[in-house]
């Protein structure tokens, strides 16, 4: 251990010597001072070009009346909070927020709960190591698939007239006529179903891996104390996995605010905008309807929410990394 690791060691009877009080932070002798800065500077520059600059651009235009034509003519003008007003007062935005809530509850929350149950069931109840590995691979597979394929596959399976899902439900006697999966009010459920299939794997994988890395010694101790089953789960496993589960949850939450792929492929927000989510509208308003100012307002709102979530996520990540001695 080097002395540098010892916090606040007392130096007996000494006030700080002169050289220490006036010492300048010195660079290391190994590489020149500019080298680390340059190594980091390159990616930072790239991020400024492809993330910071566009964000600032969007921020600026969220206060302008920019549309496609004005943009090319260069004669947009300042409109204050009008775009935000238009967005926030529009029924379309209000509806999309309701859709988002539905998606968050049944998509994200359900996924984390299901993923946690599945992961712990897999780890605690399946005894054979090889079987666990195979099951894990299979259960995680959907996450590896390109979203456009997932969207197409589910759109195909949910085809009302002759889709596999309706046929299976009929055969099992769960419904007595075809479910119209892509009608208003139902199409969002179709997206949620596909999303649950696609992404439950992520919380599952995160929680499973978190469980694997819990120290066995704790469980030995619990066994010696005679604790078992549910008690061990409730008093040891779940508390120790708290941060990991939180990370899984926040990751899914953040994804919800940029969730576009499946909406785009499966329903294009339809019918009649009944399955639109905020990120999809931002995309649609900007790219397809050319209301750039308004799209920017959407984007900035999403950005602000994401920023809060990202901060929260990083806080938890820091905590977990500190606990593991990585950071």
Partner 1 sequence: MSEQTARLIRTLLLIFLGLWLILTLFPLYWQFITAFKSAAETNRTIPSFWPEVWHFENLVSVFAEPTNFSALVDSFIIATGNTIASLVLGSLAGYAFARFPRQAGGENLAFWILSNRMFPPVAVLVPMFFLFDAMPWGTDSYLSLIILYLVFNMPLATWLMMVFFRDAPRELEEAAYLDGYTPLRAFVKVTLPLVLPGMISVAMLCWIFAWNEYLFANLFVGTQVRTFTIVIPTFTHGSQTLWNLQMAFSMIAMLPPVALFILLRRYMVRGLSLGVVKG
Partner 2 sequence: MARLQIEGLCKGWDFPVIDRLDLTVEEGEFFIVVGPSGIGKTTLLRLIAGLESADAGRITIGGQDITTLPPYKRPVAMTFESYALYPHLSVFENIASPLRARRLDKAAIRKAVTDVAKLLRIETLLDRRPGEISGGQKQRTALGRTLVAEPQVFLLDEPISHLDAKIRHELRLQFHSLEELRRVATLYVTHDYAEALSLGDRIGVMGHGGLVQIGTARDVFMRPRSLFVAQHLGQPAINAVAARLTGEGAALQAHAGNTSFGFPVVAAHAAVLARGDCGQVTVGIRPQHVRVLHNGEDAPGHHVIDAHVEIYEALGANGVLVADAGGVNLTALTSLERDFAHRQPVRLALQTDSVFYFHADSGDNLLL
User: Which residue in 100, 179, 191, 206 binds partner 1 (CB under 8 A)?
Assistant: 206
CA 137 from centroid of its chain's CA atoms: 21
Question: Measured over all CA atoms, what is the biggest interatomic distance in the chain, rounded to whole angstroms?
Answer: 88
CA–CA distance, 303 with 257 (Å, rounded to integer): 9
Pick the closer one to partner 2 by CB: 23 or 223.
Answer: 23
Q: Is residue 260 at the binding interface for partner 1, with CB under 8 A as the rule?
A: yes
Pick out residues in 288-327 that bind partner 1 (CB under 8 A).
292, 295-296, 298-300, 302-303, 306, 309-310, 313-314, 317-318, 320-321, 324, 326-327
205 binds, among partner 1, partner 2, none (CB under 5 to 8 A by kind): partner 1
Beta carbon of residue 18, minimum distance to partner 2 (angstroms, whole number): 9
Residues that bind partner 2 (CB under 8 A): 1-9, 11-12, 14, 16-17, 19-20, 23, 26-30
Beta carbon of residue 274, minimum distance to partner 1 (angstroms, whole number): 20
Q: Which residues lie across from 64 on neighbouring strands?
A: 78
CA–CA distance, 63 with 312 (Å, rounded to integer): 28
Q: Is residue 279 at the binding interface for partner 1, with CB under 8 A as the rule?
A: yes
Pick out residues in 119-148 that bind partner 1 (CB under 8 A).
121-122, 125-126, 133, 135-142, 144-148
Three-state SS string over 201-261 comes to HHHHHHHHHHHHCCCHHHHHHHHHCCCCCHHHHHHHHHHHCHHHHHHHHHHHHHHHCCCCH
Those residues whose C-beta lies under 8 Å from the C-beta of residue 130, and which sit 6 or more positions away, are none
Pick the closer one to partner 1 by CB: 249 or 283.
Answer: 283
CA 243 from centroid of its chain's CA atoms: 15
């Amino acid at each position: 251990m080097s002395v540098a690791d010892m916090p606040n060691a007392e130096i007996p009877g000494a006030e700080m010597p002169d050289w220490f009080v006036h010492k300048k932070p010195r660079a290391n002798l190994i590489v020149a001072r500019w080298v680390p800065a340059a190594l980091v500077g390159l990616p930072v520059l790239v991020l400024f070009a492809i993330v910071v600059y566009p964000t600032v651009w969007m921020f600026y235009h969220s206060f302008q009346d920019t549309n496609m034509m004005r943009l090319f003519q260069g004669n947009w003008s300042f409109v204050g909070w009008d775009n935000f007003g238009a967005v926030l007062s529009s029924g379309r935005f209000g509806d999309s927020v309701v859709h988002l809530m539905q998606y968050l509850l049944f998509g994200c929350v359900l996924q984390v709960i299901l993923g946690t149950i599945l992961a712990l069931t897999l780890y605690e109840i399946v005894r054979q190591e090889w079987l666990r590995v195979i099951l894990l691979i299979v259960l995680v597979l959907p996450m590896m698939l390109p979203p456009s394929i997932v969207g197409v596959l589910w759109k195909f399976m949910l085809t009302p007239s002759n889709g596999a899902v309706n046929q299976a439900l009929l055969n099992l006697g769960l419904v007595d006529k075809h479910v119209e999966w892509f009608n208003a009010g139902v199409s969002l459920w179709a997206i949620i179903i596909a999303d649950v299939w696609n992404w439950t794997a992520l919380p599952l994988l995160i929680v499973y891996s978190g469980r694997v890395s819990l120290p066995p010694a704790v469980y030995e101790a619990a066994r010696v104390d005679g604790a078992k089953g549910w008690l061990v789960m409730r008093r040891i496993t779940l508390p120790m996995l708290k941060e990991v589960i939180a990370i899984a949850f926040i990751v899914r939450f953040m994804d919800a605010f940029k969730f576009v792929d499946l909406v785009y492929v499966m329903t294009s927000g339809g019918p009649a905008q009944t399955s639109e989510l905020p990120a999809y509208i931002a995309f649609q308003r900007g790219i397809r309807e050319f209301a750039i100012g308004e799209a920017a307002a959407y984007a900035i709102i999403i950005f602000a929410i994401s920023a809060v979530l990202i901060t929260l996520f990083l806080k938890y990540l820091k905590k977990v990394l500190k606990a593991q001695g990585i950071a």
